[in-house]
Amino acid sequence: MAPSSVSSSNNDVPLWKVFFLFLGAVFIYLLSIILGLICHFIYFLATELINFFKNPFHKSEIKWNHGEGDGTREKPYCVIIIGSGFSGLGLAIKLKQLNMNDYILYERRENVGGTWYDNKYPEHLTDKHNLREKIRFNTKVTEAEWLDDCYQWKVTINTGQSFYSRFLVSAHGPLANAQFPTNISGIDQFKGDMFHSAEWNTAYDFTEKRVAVIGTGASSVQLVPIIQKHVKQLYVFQRTPPWIIPRLDRKVTDFEKWLFEQIPLIQKAVRSVIYWTRESVVLSFAYQWPVKTINQQLAKFFISTQVKDVELRKKLTPTWELGCKRVVLSNDWYPTLQKPNVQLVTDGIKQVNEHSIVTSAGTEYELDAIIWSTGFQVQGFPINIRGIEGKTVEEQWLDSPQAYKGVTTPNFPNLFFILGPNSGLGHNSILLMIESQFTYILKTIEYMDQNHIDKFLVKQQACQQYNDRLQAKLKKTVWQSGGCKSWYQDRMGNNTAIWPDFTWSYRLIMQNFDYDKYDLFSIDNKKTD
């Protein structure tokens, strides 16, 4: 079909409407940023003053009255951290800053990084803070078991050795293990090259190859434009299209770097503007402000300007609300799909043969390689952690994962999760949530240390009430009611991935350890008041 003009599609948005939509979006964003900056300043003053008047000369420090351990049952570590991604490294740095060095990290890979394994930034973190001596690489935790007779975690690693700790932190991340489809026959029969986007084969040469990329999520949007330049033919298999918006990206100039270095306050101001711009998205996704409709119309306009072919544009336009699934930022996704050596395939995959893929329409595509860009295993729990009475986390979370504030869960004493249920984000940097959870974890350990408490156990009622409130709020958001099925939802249809509010509101509830929501015990006197 010959390319047709922009005005011929039902998805087109008239230019005059786009102009007013754009002005409306700019006005709402500016208003939210200004209000946000004012609130941020008030919040900063209020929290600093409150903390000062509570204890004006107090400097947090965790000594942990059991002394530094060696990992044996007689002398356990204070903290064992599973994973050395941003979460594990960040918590280790915080512990070190509080003069608490009785911890160790277990990392299953041969280097730090977690989800960012191929990124150099985590390596710089470990070098700057001298963390490598605390990390055991190529060490996979195979099992962790709570011992209620001594209030310790017994952690077994892939060598068969067992180590002990007072606290256990699961920092492996929710997007750690690649997800392969289980409903496509013949995958094992394929004789070409095949790998997952999360387990990238850096040595593979794409030159003059016929390649299929399965999936059109965030990973595909990033990798397809790159490999398209090298392959002979690229088939992109799409089940459902994502919403794509322009990526506002540029290099920071030397002058800006110099200015930020000389006047740090300017850098903080710029960061605050970026932060509140992202926070304003919550007004659209969670509070149903008119900006949601504006943004969606602008996204449609972006498609109409990027894709001239009416039929292709129709295939690339989502049928659900913007934000229901992850919104992807890209300037080269749509242009890449219109390259001569790229074909978008929207028919379902029936089977995989030795050298091809056959679709439900009966079309066969000859291939040299298949890249599965099908996301991560987000249901279930990848580590065999056993709590009270031997129940595992996966067994407890089988139908619908629940945690109190995303950090603790009933029946698992002295266990913390980083990025546990409902602490993911659909609008801002996940590091903001991770840092809030650091605060809560450290406040908990500090409180227990100062009050000679050896075991905490979150109350079932507190956890249930917290999650009931979350689910009630989520039902009013685009993440749950936007008309799509996404990995945000569990087997029961509940959204157990996303925090349905501002990051600053989460930070507020994580400022202190709310001990009244827990049963607390000491090893000598058992349950305390």
pLDDT for 58 beyond 70:
no
Q: Is 21 a domain residue?
A: no
Q: Is 19 a domain residue?
A: no
Question: HEC string of 226-242?
Answer: HHCCCCCEEEEECCCCC
User: How confident is residue 362, by pLDDT bands cut at 50, 70 and 90?
Assistant: very high
pLDDT for 525 beyond 80:
no
Q: Is 189 a domain residue?
A: yes
Whether residues 205 and 346 fall in one domain: yes
pLDDT for 390 beyond 50:
yes
Over the stretch 461-475, which tens digit does the pLDDT of each residue have? Answer: 999 999 999 999 999
Whether residues 417 and 522 fall in one domain: yes
Give the model's pLDDT for residue 146: 98
Whether residues 365 and 410 fall in one domain: no
pLDDT for 94 beyond 60:
yes
More confident residue, 183 or 476: 476
CA torsion, ordered 202, 207, 210, 214, to nearest 10 deg: 30
Give the model's pLDDT for residue 121: 44
User: Which structural domain, as residue segments, surrounds residue 370?
Assistant: 179-242+326-375
Give 258's contacts (C-beta < 8 A, 6+ positions apart): none
Residue 468: which H helix or E strand, with range? helix 460-474
Instruction: Render 80-148 in DSSP notation, one character per residue.
Output: EEE--SHHHHHHHHHHHHTT---EEEE-SSSSS-GGGTT-SHHHHHHHHHT-GGGEETT--EEEEEEET
Give the model's pLDDT for residue 312: 96
Give the model's pLDDT for residue 280: 82
Q: Is the distance from CB of 179 to CB of 187 less than 8 angstroms? A: no
pLDDT for 130 beyond 90:
no
Residue range 435-464: average pLDDT? Answer: 96
User: How confident is residue 118, by pLDDT bands cut at 50, 70 and 90?
Assistant: very low
Whether residues 157 and 93 fall in one domain: yes
Q: Model-level pTM? A: 0.86
- Listed residues 343, 359, 375: the one ending a domain: 375
Residue range 367-376: average pLDDT? Answer: 91
Q: Is 312 a domain residue?
A: no
Residue range 69-80: average pLDDT? Answer: 87
Over the stretch 280-308, which tens digit does the pLDDT of each residue have? Answer: 888 888 887 777 777 888 889 899 999 99
Nearest to 78 by CA among 168, 171, 172, 170: 168
Residue range 509-517: average pLDDT? Answer: 95
Give the model's pLDDT for residue 6: 35
Q: Is the distance from CB of 187 to CB of 195 less than 8 angstroms? A: no
Q: Is 363 a domain residue?
A: yes
Helix, strand or coil, per DSSP, at residue 333: helix
Whether residues 223 and 90 fall in one domain: no
Whether residues 387 and 331 fall in one domain: no
Instruction: Render 498-509 in DSSP notation, one character per residue.
Output: B--S-HHHHHHH
Residue range 338-356: average pLDDT? Answer: 96
Whether residues 221 and 349 fall in one domain: yes
Whether residues 338 and 411 fall in one domain: no
Give the model's pLDDT for residue 115: 56
Give the model's pLDDT for residue 2: 35
pLDDT for 1 beyond 50:
no
Return the number of other C-beta atoms located less than 10 Å from residue 485's C-beta: 11
Strands 356-359 and 349-352: antiparallel
Over the stretch 303-335, which tens digit does the pLDDT of each residue have? Answer: 999 999 999 999 999 999 998 998 999 999 999
Burial of 243 (0-12, 13-18, 19+ CB in 10 A): buried
Q: Is 450 a domain residue?
A: yes
Over the stretch 141-153, which tens digit does the pLDDT of each residue have? Answer: 999 999 999 999 9
Whether residues 433 and 523 fall in one domain: yes
Q: Is 277 a domain residue?
A: no
Residue range 122-127: average pLDDT? Answer: 53
Give the model's pLDDT for residue 8: 39
Residue range 251-280: average pLDDT? Answer: 90
CATH number of the domain to which 197 belongs = 3.50.50.60
User: How confident is residue 110, by pLDDT bands cut at 50, 70 and 90?
Assistant: confident
> In the predicted model, what is the mean pLDDT of the chain?
86
Q: Is the distance from CB of 171 to CB of 433 less than 8 angstroms? A: no
CA distance 348 to 364: 12
Give the up-direction half-sphere exposure of residue 495: CA atoms within 13 A in the CB hemisphere: 28
Whether residues 150 and 195 fall in one domain: no
Nearest to 423 by CA among 443, 438, 445: 438
CA distance 406 to 387: 17
Whether residues 145 and 190 fall in one domain: no
Q: How many domains does the chain have?
A: 2
Q: What percent of the chain has pLDDT over 70?
A: 84
- Listed residues 337, 354, 375: the one ending a domain: 375
Give the model's pLDDT for residue 21: 65
pLDDT for 56 beyond 80:
no
pLDDT for 449 beyond 80:
yes
Whether residues 184 and 221 fall in one domain: yes
Query: What Å distances lie between residue 154 and 88, 126, 160, CA to CA?
Result: 19, 26, 12
Give the model's pLDDT for residue 481: 86
pLDDT for 159 beyond 90:
yes
Quick one: CA dihedral 476, 482, 488, 491, positive or negative? positive
Q: How many residues are given for the chain?
A: 529
Q: Which long-range contacts (CB under 8 A, 24 or more apart) does 442-448 make?
A: 442/60, 442/62, 442/94, 442/95, 442/98, 443/511, 443/512, 443/513, 444/416, 444/513, 445/62, 445/64, 445/78, 445/79, 445/100, 445/167, 446/60, 446/62, 446/98, 446/513, 447/513, 447/515, 448/520
CA distance 162 to 392: 18
Q: Is 25 a domain residue?
A: no
Q: Is the distance from CB of 413 to CB of 151 less than 8 angstroms? A: yes
User: How confident is residue 167, by pLDDT bands cut at 50, 70 and 90?
Assistant: very high
